Amino acid sequence: MENGGLVGFLDSGVGGTSVLALAERLLPGQPFLYLGDQKNNPYGEKGEQDIRRLVFEGLEHLLDCGAKALVLACNTATACAVDQARQRLPVPIIGMEPAIRPARQLAGDKPIAVLATPATLSLPRFDKLLAENGGQAYRVPCPGLVRMVEGGAQQGEMAQYVAGRLADCVPSGVVPGALVLGCTHFCFAREAISQAAPGVPLVDGNAGTVRQLARVLQKNGLLGKGGQTRVESTGDLAQERQLADMLARARRSLARPR
């Protein structure tokens, strides 16, 4: 195919646009279609069966649109449905998981803390991930943070929320060696999380996911050129515009000198 294979991205809302922006940067010209299931977010407060049903509905829509590879740009969706999706669907599927390994490497002998949705932290897939990487890890469920990012909350308000969650979940006096952003929405709250935990490195799984996507596309002859990015929402037009705005924000963040 001249333009390569269309890559479909699925997330419960705006969070996965942070992954999409990096994919655009590392795979220029690849055609992308992003579906934000804003009508049904947040996923992380739902039951496993409901999440799995919504994920399959979204993935099947992307396949109907011609996707040749799929990215679950959502840690909760991956934890609930990636194994079943790989068994049932006829295209390569890339999932996202909390970046425990790089966080452990940064933290050394110190514990880490994992900020994620209640669903992600409670599923067996997360337990397995912790067991594989060893060391001490504190689970910090942050259900309200997804809603705050979707609602456009200010960084100061989010910082106060995160500080409260850390105080509830990490013993007093313990400073983690790294914080894992185990939800793509939390990439849009980096400033707030840094305010709540000054000096602690933040680690997300975006780069690893995009590198795996690149490998899969190359292996399957789906690398593209001259393609474009489209975004769709299961919500209303205002929510679809929000997706486009957050994608633009993620692009600007990547372009900013670090």
Q: Which of 255, 231, 196, 222 is nearest to 10 (CA)?
A: 231
Is residue 183 annotated as part of the catalytic site, yes or no? Answer: yes
- Residue 81's identity, in one-letter code, is A
Q: Is 89 exposed, middle or buried (0-12, 13-18, 19+ CB in 10 A)?
A: middle
Helix (H, G, I), strand (E, B) or coil at 180: strand
Q: Are strands 32-36 and 93-94 parallel, antiparallel or unpaired?
A: unpaired
Give CA–CA dist 237/252, Å, rounded: 23
Pinpoint the alpha helices (H) of 184-235. 190-196, 206-219
Q: Is 40 exposed, middle or buried (0-12, 13-18, 19+ CB in 10 A)?
A: middle
In this structure, the number of other CB atoms found within 10 A of the CB of residue 28 comes to: 11
Is residue 65 annotated as part of the catalytic site, yes or no? Answer: no
Catalytic residue among 80, 142, 183, 187: 183
Catalytic residue among 74, 80, 142, 187: 74
Inter-helix orientation angle 206-219/17-26, to 10°: 50
Query: Hey, which residues are catalytic here?
Result: 74, 183
